[in-house]
Chain A
């Protein structure tokens, strides 16, 4: 942890100051008792002798005087001193949080979840290093992954690249629990939520589950059959082409007078229809007919609502 210079390299130092920095650094890493701290100081080669417990206690009092909050040794901490907060912690301004939110929102527009997972880890690390609860909460809430059971999050992310049959306990929107069994396909991100997609061996259909509703991953067993998702190819005309962000999974066939002929692949019909509707009057579905009909039917229903 420390790379002490030899005493020859420095003209003047405060040994008590150096001792305090060692203790601060040690407490930043983990809770410690007086013996741990004493051992650490002598292992560092800072001094050749052991300090008395009183000397270490004075150092701890000095840390408190500098603004550190250190808990008393108790059963919960294994009778060790625990650094609750310190004045050197990261403080993150509103502008900095806004910049992180903006980067996250813009860089996670596609369905690739991996970058969102990395952002989630960054936000959690930053939250751990700021002692401001409000800031930490705001950072952890940028992604919606805090709503996912940690064990489920870990278990599902580990499935990537494997061809396993998963059994899960799933809570539907009405919070009714049921067991689901499917061949793992892929993980994807949609509207800042993580989903797992797979193939239900019983219904022979592609299924998709929101990770925040998975209560438990019961088992993960190897599967002989390879899962091939049902793919919907939707071809549509897109007006004002240069005004629309184009995702990676979109193939632009041609563009004439700012009108593009686009082909997009979906494995989930619900999301396909949602995407098309969100493009509003700029989009006209060309094929397949069933998606075209579904879009028209939904728009006709909406027309009645706003009549």
Chain B
């Protein structure tokens, strides 16, 4: 049996609790009592907080809750990474990626607790009713009604919301439209409203298979969620892709020219053929 010092063990246990979340004194007493299996009084918890503060760990009472703000011996970042935090903040200022900004800010909160510096979070974007409706529908599993305008024509669609993303400096929304992962430019969206139809909940997966030949087969880097499903004697590889939206994937495969051939599904092959014909038509071919 290891010989331990109970008082100092409690200090660390309390610190561990404060890493997870902020507590009022009563909550902290209850949580520490639960962890330690013994009653921890206000006097004892205050003593432990004072011990941490004595060592330079910044614990402040904010809105009635004890909040861990700084750790003097935690994470350190280089000047390059510090400047990256600023660049991310600047980049995100115009993006309305609600969910991603919340996740990034949550990560920064964790980093701040483990560092002796403060890294500023991204200001949440101004309320955008369409984005709010989109994210609400994802979280609660509803389909959405969306009005779009393109080339002056307005259309309405019913689809399953999947995610918000960016394409360069443009915000895009990804939806499941008739079973296909489809990317829609946010600038084309007139309105989004939550429908009263539940999403199917099925994970969208159109299995697309393509074959890569020659040097491309050797130098190709698999994208996330891609896997090699076959290797031929001549070194060609067969790749399975399940998550990329159709248009992006077709355009990407087109750039690999004859070193890449789309194998299935048939509908994608047909669209690739049209894409090639339409592009050649630009040159009168």
A contact residues vs B (CB 8 Å cutoff): 1-5, 10-14, 16-22, 24-26, 28-29, 58-59, 61-67, 87-88, 90-93, 95-96, 98-103, 105-107, 109, 115, 117-119, 121-122, 125, 129, 144, 173-174, 191-193, 210, 242-247, 258, 273-275, 277-281, 283-284, 292, 295-296, 298-303, 305-306
Contact = CB atoms under 8 A, between A and B. Distances in A.
B221 to A, nearest CB: 6
B20 to A, nearest CB: 9
B51 A303 contact: no
Contacts of A105: 166
Contacts of B100: 98-99, 102-103
B280 interface: yes
B81 A118 contact: yes
29 contacts: A12-B50, A18-B55, A21-B15, A25-B73, A58-B4, A59-B8, A61-B4, A62-B8, A65-B2, A88-B15, A93-B106, A95-B99, A98-B100, A99-B101, A103-B100, A106-B167, A119-B84, A121-B80, A122-B77, A173-B219, A242-B185, A246-B169, A280-B278, A281-B279, A281-B282, A295-B283, A296-B283, A298-B257, A303-B277
Q: Which of A13, A246, A273 has the most B CB atoms < 10 Å from its CB?
A: A13
A213 B66 CA distance: 52
A4 B4 contact: no
Contacts of B278: 280-281
B84 A118 contact: yes
B279 A280 contact: yes
Contacts of A280: 250-251, 254, 275, 278-279
- Nearest first, the 7 A-B pairs at minimum CB distance are A245-B168, A17-B11, A25-B73, A99-B103, A281-B278, A173-B218, A278-B255
Given A118-B81, A245-B169, A98 B54 contact: no
Interface of B: 2-5, 7-13, 15-16, 19, 43, 46-48, 50-57, 71-75, 77-78, 80-81, 83-84, 87-88, 91-92, 97, 99-101, 103-104, 106-107, 110-111, 114, 151, 165-170, 185, 187, 215, 218-219, 221, 224, 250-252, 254-258, 261-262, 269, 272-273, 275-283, 285
Nearest to B171: A106
A305 to B, nearest CB: 6
A107 B73 contact: no
Contact of A13 (B15, B51, B282): B51
Q: Which of B15, B78, B165, B187 has the most A CB atoms < 10 Å from its CB?
A: B15
B56 A4 contact: yes
B169 to A, nearest CB: 6
Nearest to A306: B273
Main secondary structure of the interface of A (DSSP, over half): helix
Contact of B114 (A88, A109, A258, A273): A88
B47 A100 contact: no
Contacts of A1: 72-73
Contacts of A102: 97, 100, 165-166
A90 B114 contact: yes
A115 B114 CA distance: 24
A284 B50 contact: no
A66 B9 contact: yes
B12 A302 contact: no
A98 B104 CA distance: 9
B2 A10 contact: no
B6 to A, nearest CB: 8
B280 to A, nearest CB: 5
Given A99-B100, A277-B255, A144 B221 contact: yes
A13 B54 CA distance: 8
A300 B258 CA distance: 10
Nearest to A62: B4
Contacts of B71: 88
A114 to B, nearest CB: 8
A241 to B, nearest CB: 12
Contact of A24 (B12, B75, B215): B12
A283 to B, nearest CB: 8
A205 B219 CA distance: 22
Contacts of A26: 73
Q: Which of B97, B99, B168 has the most A CB atoms < 10 Å from its CB?
A: B168
Contacts of A121: 78, 80-81, 84
Contact of B276 (A92, A119, A193, A303): A303
B135 to A, nearest CB: 12
A17 B107 contact: no
A88 B258 CA distance: 52
A14 B7 contact: yes
A103 B89 CA distance: 11
Given A12-B50, A91-B110, A278-B254, A62 B103 contact: no
Contact of B47 (A14, A62, A242, A247): A14
A302 B110 contact: no
